[in-house]
């Protein structure tokens, strides 16, 4: 039975209609369970909706737990113990906790994590994940530069204008929204030196923030091209087909 | 409709065996729990089918039967917070697997050990969840009766809640295990055990 469950959830090519139905049900449950968050009032109907979707998501959680030893590199008892600490299991549990009454209603926002339950069932996400995986090193380097730049800008500003920036956290907040070109304008430098630093920070900041966008776009283009190449190769006719087709053309001529 | 027929057509005999036995186990759980509630018995009787699914098929089947049963309770009675009580039936499903020896046969000694473990673990889990969710007040009249009796004898709130739960869990587990063993015995041997498609 566990093998059947495993192939139902994970073997995308061989599981046929049942697998697709399973994916659809879990994905739809994840999506539908977010609907109550769109309303300020909690209607009685939402209780039933919540119960249905919660149980579907929990069933998926339990089924993945039951077959985790097939996927894990650990042996049988250890694999089952490790499962609740895997990233997807933690996310799954976190998004279910508010419905179980374990957490205060203020943690309702955790339900938003349910959208991540749809990720394994989205083909597009595979492409996104591949791009980010391939460009991981470059993106991390840019992230380190951006974080370092934010820290230095904030520090310079905090030292230069202690009256404007009450805490270092304020300075970090200012540096982040300036670097990302959001600029709420609730905190801003007032001294000439501060304004000059702000200008420099904005000019260089734009360049740093724009870098990942270019990297990800290039990665996407490459991924799309390779997908198209693969599908072209699969569609390429066999040599015998070409010969037959040529013979047909010759005959017609 | 045609898709459902196609799906059923795709199922192997072994999958059909699992589906039918699990469905029967869910029905038994629901019917017995309803009877116990209506007759105001000092029993819950919501796990005999779960234990039976474990010993007739495998623990994974018991876990799924327990979840389906819990789902019906949530839909018709208590709402989504009932899900936390799934831990009790899940524990029963997993501990029931100890009743079988290496060759997959029931042994009296193992049944007794398993039943004792089910009583201990399910009492602790139920009492903790009940205490946390409703301050120790149960849906079962007899659990509340024994708890109040314990309080009147000077026991603390949590301890009396545990005593109330334990005094109902003991007969409940004994009856549940007995019914599950009976179900196991009346199930033809060729339908017991996991992955038996070659025998069908």
pLDDT digits (tens, 9 = 90+) for A149-187: 889 989 988 998 888 888 999 999 999 888 887 878 888
Contact A51 B79 (CB under 8 A): yes
Q: In terms of domains, do A21 and A114 share one? A: yes
pLDDT for residue A27 is more than 70: yes
Q: Which of A20, A13, A122, A23 is nearest to B6 (CA)?
A: A20
Identify the pLDDT of residue B174. Answer: 92
- For residue A209, give both structure tokens: 């923030």
Number of domains composing chain B = 1
Maximum Cα–Cα distance across chain B: 65
Three-class secondary structure of residue A183 per DSSP:
coil
Identify the pLDDT of residue A121. Answer: 62
Report ipTM for this prediction. Answer: 0.76
From chain B, the residues in CB contact with A52 under 8 A are 75
Confidence tier at A253 by pLDDT (50, 70, 90): very low
Q: In terms of domains, do A190 and A221 share one? A: yes
Min distance B120 CA to chain A CA atoms (Å) = 21
Confidence tier at A249 by pLDDT (50, 70, 90): very low
Query: Could you list the residue range(s) of the whole structural domain that residue A46 is in?
Result: 2-121
Residue at which a domain ends, from A121, A143, A160: A121
B128 inside domain: no
Q: Is B21 on the interface with A (CB under 8 A)?
A: no
DSSP class of residue B66 equals: H
pLDDT for residue B118 is more than 90: yes
Min distance B15 CA to chain A CA atoms (Å) = 8
Minimal Cβ distance to B83: which of A5, A58, A66: A58
B154 inside domain: no
From chain A, the residues in CB contact with B17 under 8 A are none
From chain B, the residues in CB contact with A3 under 8 A are 195
End-to-end CA distance of chain A: 61
Number of domains composing chain A = 2
Q: In terms of domains, do A70 and A143 share one? A: no
- For residue A5, give both structure tokens: 């469950």
A59 inside domain: yes
Cβ-contact B192, B104 below 8 angstroms: yes
Identify the pLDDT of residue B25. Answer: 92
């Amino acid at each position: 039975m566990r093998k059947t469950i495993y192939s139902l959830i994970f073997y995308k090519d061989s599981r046929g209609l049942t697998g697709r139905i399973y994916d659809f049900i879990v994905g739809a449950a994840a999506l539908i369970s977010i609907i109550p968050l769109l309303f300020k009032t909690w209607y009685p109907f939402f209780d039933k909706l919540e119960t249905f979707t919660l149980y579907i998501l929990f069933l998926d959680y339990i089924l993945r737990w039951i077959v985790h030893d097939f996927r894990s590199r650990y042996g049988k008892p250890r694999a089952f113990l490790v499962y609740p600490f895997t990233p997807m299991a933690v996310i799954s549990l976190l998004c279910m906790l508010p419905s179980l009454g374990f957490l205060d209603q203020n943690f309702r926002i955790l339900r938003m994590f349910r959208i991540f339950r749809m990720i394994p069932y989205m083909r597009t996400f595979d492409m996104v994940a591949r791009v980010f995986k391939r460009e991981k090193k470059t993106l991390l380097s840019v992230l380190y530069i951006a974080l370092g730049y934010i820290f230095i800008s904030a520090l310079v500003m905090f030292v230069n204008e202690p009256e404007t920036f009450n805490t270092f956290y304020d300075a970090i907040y200012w540096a982040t929204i300036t670097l990302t070109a959001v600029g709420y304008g609730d905190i801003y430098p007032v001294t000439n030196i501060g304004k000059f630093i702000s200008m420099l920070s904005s000019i260089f900041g734009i360049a740093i923030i724009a870098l990942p966008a270019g990297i990800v776009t290039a990665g996407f283009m490459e991924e799309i091209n390779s997908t198209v190449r693969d599908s072209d190769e699969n569609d390429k006719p066999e040599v015998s087909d070409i010969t037959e087709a040529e013979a047909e053309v010759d005959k017609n001529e | 409709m045609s898709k459902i027929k196609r799906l059923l057509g795709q199922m192997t005999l072994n999958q059909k065996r699992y589906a039918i036995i699990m469905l029967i186990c869910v029905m038994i759980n629901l019917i017995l729990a309803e009877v116990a509630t209506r007759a105001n018995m000092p029993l819950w009787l919501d796990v005999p089918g779960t234990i039976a699914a474990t010993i007739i098929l495998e623990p994974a089947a018991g876990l799924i039967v327990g979840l389906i049963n819990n789902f019906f309770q949530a839909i018709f009675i208590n709402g989504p917070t009932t899900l936390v009580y799934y831990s009790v039936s899940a524990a029963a499903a997993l501990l029931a697997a100890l009743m079988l020896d290496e060759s997959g046969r029931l042994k009296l000694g193992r049944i007794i050990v398993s039943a004792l473990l089910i009583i201990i673990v399910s009492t602790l889990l139920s009492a903790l969840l009940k205490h946390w969710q409703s301050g120790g007040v149960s849906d079962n009249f007899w659990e509340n009766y024994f708890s109040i009796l314990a309080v009147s004898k000077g026991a603390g709130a949590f301890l009396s809640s545990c005593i109330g739960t334990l005094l109902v869990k003991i007969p409940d587990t004994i009856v549940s295990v007995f019914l599950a063993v009976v179900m196991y015995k009346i199930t033809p041997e060729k339908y017991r055990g996991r992955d038996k498609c070659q025998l069908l």
